[in-house]
């Protein structure tokens, strides 16, 4: 009785819920969890004795698949943040100051005269 239940759970598509390594090899968006969990529920309720280890493995696998789906949603944001990181090992580049053409040159005598007149 329990052996036939295990054999039905070890065949596709329900084997994804029992063995999480199978889910890791596939894209998480290819796996329809709601349909798989409905099939799993039907498979384990057909028997008199419910295998709680299989139910726990299915809960763990479905949570792992949901986590993989969430991680793929934020993958592009993580890549964008990594690209924005500044390399602190290099000094910043020099800022080129614009040259003002309207500035005229002065000599020391003009500066002394300007400082005396301000006193």
The pLDDT tens digits of the residues spanning 37-46 come to 999 998 888 8
Report the C-alpha gap between 39 and 50 in whole angstroms: 14
The pLDDT tens digits of the residues spanning 44-92 come to 888 888 888 888 988 988 998 899 889 888 888 888 877 776 666 777 7
Report the C-alpha gap between 51 and 98 in whole angstroms: 77
CB 62 within 8 A of CB 33: yes
**Considering the domain boundaries, does residue 116 fall inside one?**
no
- The closest of 60, 71, 70 to 37, measured between CA atoms, is 60
CB 22 within 8 A of CB 68: no
Q: What is the pTM of this model?
A: 0.58
Domain count, the chain: 1
- The closest of 20, 62, 17, 61 to 40, measured between CA atoms, is 17
- Domain interval for residue 36: 2-84
**Considering the domain boundaries, does residue 49 fall inside one?**
yes
């Amino acid at each position: 009785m329990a052996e036939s239940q295990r054999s039905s759970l070890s065949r596709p598509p329900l084997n994804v819920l029992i063995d999480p390594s199978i889910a890791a090899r596939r894209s998480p968006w290819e796996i329809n969890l709601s349909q798989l969990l409905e099939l799993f529920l039907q498979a384990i309720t057909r028997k008199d004795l419910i295998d709680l280890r299989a139910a726990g493995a299915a809960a763990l696998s479905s949570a792992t698949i949901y986590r993989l789906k969430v991680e793929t949603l934020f993958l592009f944001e993580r890549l964008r943040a990594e690209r924005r990181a500044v390399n602190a090992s290099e000094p910043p580049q020099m800022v080129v100051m614009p040259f003002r053409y309207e500035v005229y040159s002065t000599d020391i005598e003009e500066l002394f005269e300007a400082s005396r007149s301000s006193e």
